[in-house]
Amino acid sequence: MAPKVGQALREARTERGIVLSEVERVTKIRVKFLRAMEEDRWDELPAPVYARGFLEIYARYLDLDAEALVEQYKETVESADSAEPIPSGVVQPASSGAAGPRARRSPSRSWSPASSPWPRWGW
């Protein structure tokens, strides 16, 4: 079985003798996020898009295959977090002729410069 994404990051960093504070200084990723990635606590990152970005930056810094790690992250973490589809019958399509609450209504009167509440400048 392939190692988890976080395990691969931690092993690469420790093999190179790099401390998290140095990774933070170079990558500008906060230590708390680096530690969360290494411990596979992805839910502690701001959002999946940030997790993918942080992971790519961190992997490149460690000279790892960033694309492969991001793909592994997507397959293991994001697929597990994917939302279930809305059951049919809960959402009903609107009929084509009905005007919904956001339907545009024609104004009761048309606008003209003469009806404007703003003063007319004589330029």
Look up tokens 């609450």; give the residue: 101
pLDDT in tens, 63-90: 999 999 999 999 988 876 655 666 676 7
**Is 29 contained in some domain?**
yes
Note whether residue 42 is domain-resident: yes
Structural domain includes residue 113:
no
Bridge partners (DSSP) listed for residue 88: 91
For residue 98, tell me if it sits in a domain. no
Would you state the structure tokens that stand for residue 94, as one six-digit string?
A: 């609107």
Flag whether 106 is in a domain: no
Q: How many domains does the chain have?
A: 1
Residues in the chain: 123
Q: Is residue 35 helix, strand or coil?
A: helix
Q: At 24, which CATH number?
A: 1.10.260.40
- pLDDT exceeds 60 at position 37: yes
Q: In this predicted structure, what is the pLDDT of residue 77?
A: 86
Q: Which residues constitute the domain of residue 60?
A: 5-81
Nearest 5°: phi and psi at 96? -70, -30
